[in-house]
Amino acid sequence: MVIYSIDVFFDMSLDIKQLRVKIFDELSKIVDPEINTSITDLELIDEVDISNNNVKVDLHLTSPFCPAVFGFKICQDIHDNLLKVNGIDDVKVNVSNHFMAEQINNQVNNSPNPKKKLASKS
């Protein structure tokens, strides 16, 4: 049985809060290319799940028939920008309620992750 002091939980909680602030700071920099407005201002982010050093972002687009190229751009920007944040090793993006959601998710989530390449060389 592992016993943690309250200070350890407080420190872990503080680290997650700081990471969450960094994540939302990065998300606020990403704009919908069709209307040139931040995805956070548009409230497109449904959920951000942080587990260890992995992040999963659930989002929806402005409409189910938003041009696929714009949906892909937004999702790829989320993936790439969050991977630049210290403390994040992997990012999964899950767009829903879009006619090309499955294709966008597959392409973005299978795109290169430079942090995984570095880890495998070590």
pLDDT in tens, 17-57: 999 999 999 999 999 999 999 999 999 999 999 998 999 99
| CATH code of 41's domain | 3.30.300.130
Indicate the helix (H) or strand (E) that contains 50: strand 45-51
Of 28, 73, 14, 23, nearest in space to 49 by CA: 23
pLDDT in tens, 58-100: 999 999 999 999 999 999 999 999 999 999 999 999 999 999 9
15: confidence class by pLDDT, cuts 50, 70, 90 = confident
Answer yes or no: is 1 within a domain. no
- Residues in Cβ contact with 83 at an 8 Å cutoff, skipping those fewer than 6 apart: 90, 91, 113, 114, 115
Neighbours of 119 (CB within 10 A): 11
Three-class SS of residue 100? coil
Answer yes or no: is 93 within a domain. yes
Domain count, the chain: 1
83: containing domain: 6-121
Report the Cα 77 to chain-centroid distance in Å: 9
Q: Is the pLDDT of residue 7 over 90?
A: no
Answer yes or no: is 107 within a domain. yes
